[in-house]
């Protein structure tokens, strides 16, 4: 079914290591801005329903945010300064101190070609997961670098000198989680080829045992983390790059000073130190994901995949389903491939409404 949807590929090898066009994606294929979830005002206008009446499940942001601490006026007044206590809190939370605070992982994703070129590298090819968060593909194609999409991690025999492999772990939207041992082997193989491994761990907070931060080493591994999703603080625009000192310096040089704002520094320091809130949040998200997965599978008869922050339901009539949900005031994310709906978690008090709408929408939709 997935192959059917990718009709523009001239050469496709489904279920094999990679999907390769006979020529790589061209820069023009990604010139326009991408659409993401979270466009609640636009959707509300399109379906003519007041913003306050919507249940927005179009993102993978936790529905319960970390409770905001009181902020000292200096957080607003002074230039933001990354303090030793902030660095300690962040290092303890992530289990790694080779970090650079950034204004959300997106800020690095879009500048990676410039950051890599500061290292004097001109990558020949970049491998990106498909499906996957499309901003990775866009950054490289916009920079004129050849991008190849893969469905399963590229095998050594398909890699060449200087290749960069991007892994979204766990993947958004599929939730596929790569083992650390597999990624360590890939890192070694890329090292031998003078290549780079970039791992986007935006949705890793509920499964830290799978994070590459536990064993970050070497000059050819960069790991991105987002603080917005697990802590429910996407509006803060905060995240981290983990890499060697040289890579962090190159990144700083490209992004410039004061990446992370003063209020974000204060709120995050408190969130990173609040281990009991983190553990309650993890349990709550795990429980919510179980509830949501069961609800969707029971009503639509399909197997869902995902993470504790989102649940993705493949469906041959995903665009029709999307419209049916929106007509009921529930806003999911239609995947870029139009072959699935992705749902973010809801709070316990929002469950009855979502369950009712799922029941109604599935009632008018045939099972696949």
Ligand X SMILES: Cc1ncc(COP(=O)(O)O)c(C=O)c1O
Least CB distance to ligand X at residue 260 (A): 11
C-alpha to C-alpha distance for 327 and 365, rounded to whole angstroms: 14
Please report, for residues 14, 18, 144, 156, 293, the alpha-carbon distance to residue 11 in angstroms, rounded to integers and kept in the order given.
10, 11, 21, 20, 34
Q: Does 202 bind ligand X (CB under 6 A)?
A: yes
Q: In what order do the strands lie in the sheet with 221-226?
A: 99-102, 239-242, 221-226, 196-200, 164-168, 125-129, 146-150
Least CB distance to ligand X at residue 223 (A): 12
C-alpha to C-alpha distance for 170 and 321, rounded to whole angstroms: 25
Least CB distance to ligand X at residue 156 (A): 25
Q: Does 104 bind ligand X (CB under 6 A)?
A: yes
C-alpha to C-alpha distance for 368 and 315, rounded to whole angstroms: 7
Binding mask 239-258 for ligand X (x = CB under 6 A): x-------------------
Least CB distance to ligand X at residue 236 (A): 9
Our measurement of the distance from residue 343's CA atom to the centroid of its chain's CA atoms, rounded to an integer in Å, reads: 14
C-alpha to C-alpha distance for 181 and 126, rounded to whole angstroms: 22
φ, ψ for residue 124, nearest 5 deg:
-80, -40
C-alpha to C-alpha distance for 155 and 151, rounded to whole angstroms: 11
Q: Does 344 bind ligand X (CB under 6 A)?
A: no
Least CB distance to ligand X at residue 3 (A): 23
Least CB distance to ligand X at residue 239 (A): 4
β 330-331/164-168 pair status: unpaired
204 contacts 225 by C-beta, under 8 angstroms: yes
**The binder of ligand X chosen from 58, 98, 105, 288 (CB under 6 A):** 105
Residue nearer to ligand X on the CB measure, 30 or 105:
105
**The binder of ligand X chosen from 234, 271, 326, 358 (CB under 6 A):** 234
Q: Does 112 bind ligand X (CB under 6 A)?
A: no
Return the axis-axis angle of helices 84-94 and 262-273, rounded to nearest 10°: 50
Q: Does 200 bind ligand X (CB under 6 A)?
A: yes
Residue nearer to ligand X on the CB measure, 41 or 122:
41
Return the axis-axis angle of helices 318-327 and 351-363, rounded to nearest 10°: 130
Residues 137-196 that bind ligand X (CB under 6 A): 168, 172
Q: Does 305 bind ligand X (CB under 6 A)?
A: no
Q: Does 340 bind ligand X (CB under 6 A)?
A: no
C-alpha to C-alpha distance for 149 and 237, rounded to whole angstroms: 28
**The binder of ligand X chosen from 63, 113, 228, 232 (CB under 6 A):** 228
242 contacts 213 by C-beta, under 8 angstroms: yes
Our measurement of the distance from residue 56's CA atom to the centroid of its chain's CA atoms, rounded to an integer in Å, reads: 18
Least CB distance to ligand X at residue 270 (A): 19
Least CB distance to ligand X at residue 247 (A): 18
Least CB distance to ligand X at residue 133 (A): 4
| Segment interacting with ligand X, rule: CB under 6 A, options 68-76, 102-110, 331-339, 345-353 | 102-110
**The binder of ligand X chosen from 169, 220, 226, 305 (CB under 6 A):** 226
Among the listed residues 204, 230, 231, 233, the one whose alpha carbon sits nearest the alpha carbon of residue 216: 204
Residue nearer to ligand X on the CB measure, 228 or 293:
228
| Segment interacting with ligand X, rule: CB under 6 A, options 104-112, 178-186, 322-330, 356-364 | 104-112
**The binder of ligand X chosen from 133, 247, 310, 325 (CB under 6 A):** 133
| Segment interacting with ligand X, rule: CB under 6 A, options 12-20, 226-234, 256-264, 342-350 | 226-234
Question: Interface residues with ligand X (CB under 6 A)?
Answer: 104-106, 133, 168, 172, 200, 202, 226, 228, 234, 239
């Amino acid at each position: 079914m997935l192959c059917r949807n990718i009709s523009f590929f001239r050469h496709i090898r489904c279920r094999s290591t990679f999907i390769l066009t006979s020529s790589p994606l061209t820069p023009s294929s990604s010139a326009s801005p991408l659409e993401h979830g979270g466009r609640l005002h636009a959707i509300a206008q399109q379906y003519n329903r007041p913003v306050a009446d919507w249940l927005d499940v179009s993102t993978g942001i936790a529905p319960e945010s970390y409770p905001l601490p009181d902020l000292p006026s200096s957080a607003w007044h002074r230039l933001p300064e990354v303090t030793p206590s902030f660095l300690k809190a962040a290092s303890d939370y992530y289990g790694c101190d080779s970090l650079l605070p950034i204004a959300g992982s997106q800020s690095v994703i879009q500048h990676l070609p410039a950051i890599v070129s500061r290292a004097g590298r001109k990558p020949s090819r970049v491998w990106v997961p498909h499906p996957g968060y499309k901003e990775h593909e866009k950054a490289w194609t916009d920079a004129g670098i050849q991008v190849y999409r893969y469905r399963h991690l590229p095998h050594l025999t398909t890699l060449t000198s200087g290749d960069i492999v991007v892994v979204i772990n766990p993947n958004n939207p599929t939730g596929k989680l790569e083992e650390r041992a597999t990624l360590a082997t890939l890192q070694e193989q890329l090292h031998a080829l003078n290549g780079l491994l970039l791992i986007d761990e935006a949705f890793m907070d509920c499964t830290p045992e799978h994070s590459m931060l536990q064993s970050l080493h070497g000059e050819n591994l960069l790991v991105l983390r987002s603080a917005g999703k697990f802590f429910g603080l996407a509006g803060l625009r905060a995240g981290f790059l983990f890499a060697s000192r040289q890579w962090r310096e190159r990144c700083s040089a490209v992004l410039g000073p004061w990446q992370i704002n003063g209020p974000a520094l204060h709120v995050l320091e408190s969130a990173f130190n609040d281990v009991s809130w983190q553990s309650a949040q993890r349990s709550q998200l795990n429980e919510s994901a179980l509830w949501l997965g069961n609800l969707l599978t029971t009503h639509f008869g399909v197997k869902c995949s995902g993470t504790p922050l989102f649940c993705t339901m493949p469906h041959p009539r995903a665009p029709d389903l999307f419209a049916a949900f929106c007509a009921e005031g529930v806003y999911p994310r239609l995947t870029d491939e139009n072959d699935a709906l992705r749902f973010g978690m809801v709070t316990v008090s929002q469950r009855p409404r979502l369950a009712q709408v799922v029941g109604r929408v599935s009632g008018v939709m045939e099972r696949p």
